[in-house]
Amino acid sequence: MQTPDDILQVAQATMTKAVDHLRKELRGIRTGRAQPSLVEMVRVEYYGSQSDLKSIAAISVPEPSQLLIKPFDATTITDIKRAIETSGIGLNPMVEGKQIRLNIPALTGERRKQLATLCKKISEEAKVAVRNVRRDANKHAEGIKGNIPEDELETLKTEIQDLLKKYETEIDDAAAKKTKEVETV
């Protein structure tokens, strides 16, 4: 049988994972500046399996509007180029010998609005995830209803709701910060 503390710990751990996932997703959204996080999670076909770009190449920022990708294995350069082109991030890779250069164009006003909308969409998905965790935790709480006093059950439900509020605030803060980055010229 689960105890109230077990239910709270599981809920908190799962909500933390949802917020961490949100932050990872937001890092991949383009701003006007070059950041390695734009491409480090691009999946590249590497010897028959999918690998993250950051695990098969060094990514650096030589200028504020450029990324430089140096593969650890020079034979993978065409695979990396193809992966970047098909990733949907809207960047055009240029092969220069044994490296790839990505110029990050300035964002247009319309593109900034699209990216801000994407930030909002991703944050709403994270909120749905933490609300689902709350729902599951409340179900588990109802499952132990006869085994604990009624006031303890109400306290548990209040604590679950407080957890939800805490994580929703974190989600809102992360989304607001990224939206501000995207909208700032």
Please give the CATH superfamily to which domain 4-27+108-183 belongs.
Answer: Ribosome-recycling factor (1.10.132.20)
Comparing 32-36, 71-75, 140-144, the range with the smallest average pLDDT is 32-36
pLDDT tens per residue, range 66-120: 999 999 988 889 899 999 888 877 788 999 999 999 988 888 888 888 888 989 9
User: What is the chain's length?
Assistant: 185
Topology of domain 36-103 in CATH is: Gyrase A; domain 2 (3.30.1360)
Reading the block at residue 68, the tokens are 């430089």
Reading the block at residue 105, the tokens are 């164009």
Reading the block at residue 40, the tokens are 């480090």
pLDDT at 170 over 80: yes
Same fold, 4-27+108-183 and 36-103: no
Helix (H, G, I), strand (E, B) or coil at 99: strand
Cα–Cα distance between 162 and 80 in angstroms, integer?
Answer: 45
Q: Which long-range contacts (CB under 8 A, 24 or more apart) does 45-48 make?
A: 45/79, 45/82, 45/83, 46/76, 46/79
pTM beyond 0.75? no
Total Cβ atoms within 10 A of residue 141: 22
Percentage of the chain lying above the pLDDT 70 cut: 99
Band of pLDDT at residue 185, cut at 50, 70 and 90: low
> What does 51-88 look like in DSSP terms, one character per residue?
EEHHHHEEEEEEETTEEEEEESSGGGHHHHHHHHHHTT
pLDDT at 33 over 90: no
Q: Give the CA-trace dihedral at 84, 85, 88, 91, to 10 degrees.
A: 80
Which sequence spans correspond to the domains of the chain?
4-27+108-183, 36-103
